[in-house]
Amino acid sequence: MHTQAVAGSTNVEARKPFYRILYVQVLIGLALGVLAGHFWPEFGAALKPFGDGFVKLVKMMIAPIVFCTIVSGINSISDSRGVGRTLVKSMALFYLLTVLALLAGVIAVSLIQPGVGMHVAVNTLDPSVAAKYTKQAATSGFADFMLHIIPHSFFGAFADGEVLPVLLVSILVAFGLNRAGDDGVVVTKAIASFSHVLFVSFGFIMKLAPLGAFGAMAFTVGRYGIRSIGSLGLLILTFYIACSVFVVVVLGTLARLNGFSLWKTIRYFKEELLIVLGTSSSEPALPGTLRKLEQLGCRKGVSGLVLPMGYSFNLDGSAIYLTLASIFIAQACDIHLSWGQIATMLGLMLLTSKGAAGVTGSGFVALVATLSVMQDLPVTGVALLIGIDRFMSEARALTSMISNCVAAISVSLWEDACDREVLARELGQVNAPEPAARSKVAAAPVVQEDKSWVPTPQSAA
């Protein structure tokens, strides 16, 4: 009966006019934003509040959604040791992916060499460009970053809206509810009902995604201009090539080893990826991605932990950007870096890349933090990148978003917390496993519950 309801809902969506599908509306918004910014630059730049407003609306919902998802998810895990096991496996995977992403940036910039021949004199670079980011970068040390996870107060985690403090509070509350007996059951049911309300409310906000994408893209093109990428076009091309190779080779291999398709996964999350493309930020896609991971058969006790962690510990797009931008500055300023210096830089970037949040401009702050510590490269070299950084932020956010989706599914499979049959069916794969080979979580409530109320991106449109 549940299957029939879902199938009926799918057929209704299939009969929708194409212009009412969310990802089509977002694509139209992106195209109109490019046109508005190109032909009417001042008007396009003035549309920035539309993009900023949409991102703020979504960020308003992130903290309570993450809290409810993690608390109810952990409560569904009978073995509390499973949470620690999930955290360890997630961090190990995140650091492995970060190392590979850093190496991808080094290899791409060393082969293509976009900065060679520019012969930029360091004393001609504007130091004021880096100065305004230095204060932000100064607080992004590893010790400060770890202490920043602890909020000033319980409700301060929600007031600031940052993912990691909310994650910490959620884990503590979840374990507390597990030990609270009947009182804990009452609170758990209340949190589950509140989560229902939050996702319905989020569906209304998603209707504004095309407007947000339109405003953000119009501002980017109107403010910086398409022609501004001409002089440094090879650098942008190098970065996009590095990100593409990382996604195809590294993430594609990880997905294949775990028995699912990277391309079908990207297609499944296309609405969220288009929103990331339009806003240059991965945060607006977090609530929708959490819900879709559940629809893929991933138990939210695992995927609800892995995905929010990835937003601070698995920023592979920023990792590629850090190595590529740093070595580009060295090439442009005719500074030779030995392999020992590059190895030292990679070790430093393993720390600085973790302090960048999934918002626009954070990768640039992490770059300033890296160059501030390294004596071999001038911090003022970031002046070469300020004009095109916005055009590279989309690729940073998209790469990190895809990586976190693949990582969440992979860890769920490792923990036997993902129904492979549901995963295969949702991704549209033909060779679904036989019923006998189904995962232990096949009967988990998160898979079998009636999701007809869930405002998926398409139905929300």
Q: What pLDDT is attached to residue 145? A: 63
**Highest mean pLDDT, choosing among 248-252, 282-286, 356-360, 434-438:** 248-252
pLDDT digits (tens, 9 = 90+) for 82-102: 777 888 899 899 999 999 999
Dist. CA 112–CA 307, nearest whole Å: 33
Q: What pLDDT is attached to residue 136? A: 52
Task: Find the mean pLDDT for residues 112-132.
Answer: 73
* pLDDT of 42 higher than 60: yes
* pLDDT of 441 higher than 50: no
* pLDDT of 108 higher than 90: yes
16: its two tokens: 């929708």
User: Which domains, from first to last, does the chain contain?
Assistant: 2-460 (1.10.3860.10)
* pLDDT of 431 higher than 80: no
Task: Find the mean pLDDT for residues 449-456.
Answer: 41
CA Rg value for the chain = 22
Closest to 235 measured CA to CA, from 292, 320, 311: 320
Count Cα neighbours of 60 within 13 Å in the Cβ-side half-sphere: 11
Choice between 172 and 20, residue whose per-residue pLDDT is larger: 172
Partnered with residue 418 across adjacent β-strands are: 298
Amino acid at 364: F
* pLDDT of 48 higher than 70: yes
- CB burial string 248-260: b at 16+ within 10 A, e below: eebbbebbeebeb
Dist. CA 130–CA 324, nearest whole Å: 18
Task: Report pTM.
Answer: 0.74
Partnered with residue 298 across adjacent β-strands are: 418
Q: What pLDDT is attached to residue 443? A: 40
Q: Compute the C-alpha angle 24/29/32, nearest 5°.
A: 125
pLDDT digits (tens, 9 = 90+) for 1-26: 334 434 443 444 456 676 677 778 88
